[in-house]
């Protein structure tokens, strides 16, 4: 797992590689730890949780799409929903101590309207 992480693979891709290439369906029953916990102990864990980082990347791409297509109301609503999910997930990660308490997401929808 550490070798795969050093190659630049995120934890979800490491799990998929272990499942598909090495026939290890689940890591936790074997090691007693999750992939993220193992990477954290080795100092290779990503700074931001992978699910939140993926949401931020998707919000950024939706915001750039809406800058070019201002009348796309369906994607404007999709961005609003995605930003609500980001806020909800960031509150959870702040509460659990994964994100610093002063971390703040700046909504992209405010600059588009």
Encode pLDDT of 66-107 as tens digits: 999 999 999 999 999 999 999 999 999 999 999 999 999 988
Q: Are residues 58 and 102 in the same domain?
A: yes
**Rounded distance, CA 7 to CA 69, Å?**
37
Do 15 and 57 share a domain, yes or no?
A: no
Same domain (yes/no): 106, 56:
yes
Give residue 1's Cα distance to chain centre. Answer: 19
Residue 106's pLDDT is 87
- Which residue did the predictor score with more confidence, 97 or 110? 97
pTM, two decimal places: 0.84
Do 38 and 54 share a structural domain? no
Are residues 88 and 108 located together in one domain of the fold?
yes
Question: What are the tokens at 36?
Answer: 């993220």
State which residues form the domain around 101: 50-112
User: 């610093």: which residue's tokens?
Assistant: 100
Return d(Cα 51, Cα 97) in angstroms, integer.
16
pLDDT score at 109:
64
17 and 56 both lie in a single domain:
no
Model confidence pLDDT, tens digit, residues 29-57: 999 999 999 999 999 999 999 999 999 99
Whether residues 34 and 88 fall in one domain = no
56 and 15 co-located in one domain: no
- Give how many domains the chain has, as a whole number: 2
């Amino acid at each position: 797992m550490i070798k795969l992480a050093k190659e630049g693979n995120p934890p979800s891709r490491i799990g998929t590689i272990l499942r598909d290439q090495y026939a290890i369906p689940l890591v936790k029953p074997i090691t007693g730890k999750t992939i993220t916990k193992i990477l954290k102990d080795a100092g290779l864990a990503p700074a931001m949780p992978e699910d939140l980082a993926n949401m931020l990347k998707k919000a950024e791409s939706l915001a750039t799409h809406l800058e070019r297509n201002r009348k796309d109301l369906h994607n404007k609503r999709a961005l609003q929903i995605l930003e609500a999910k980001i806020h909800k997930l960031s509150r959870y990660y702040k509460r659990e101590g994964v994100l610093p308490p002063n971390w703040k997401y700046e909504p992209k929808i405010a600059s588009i309207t």
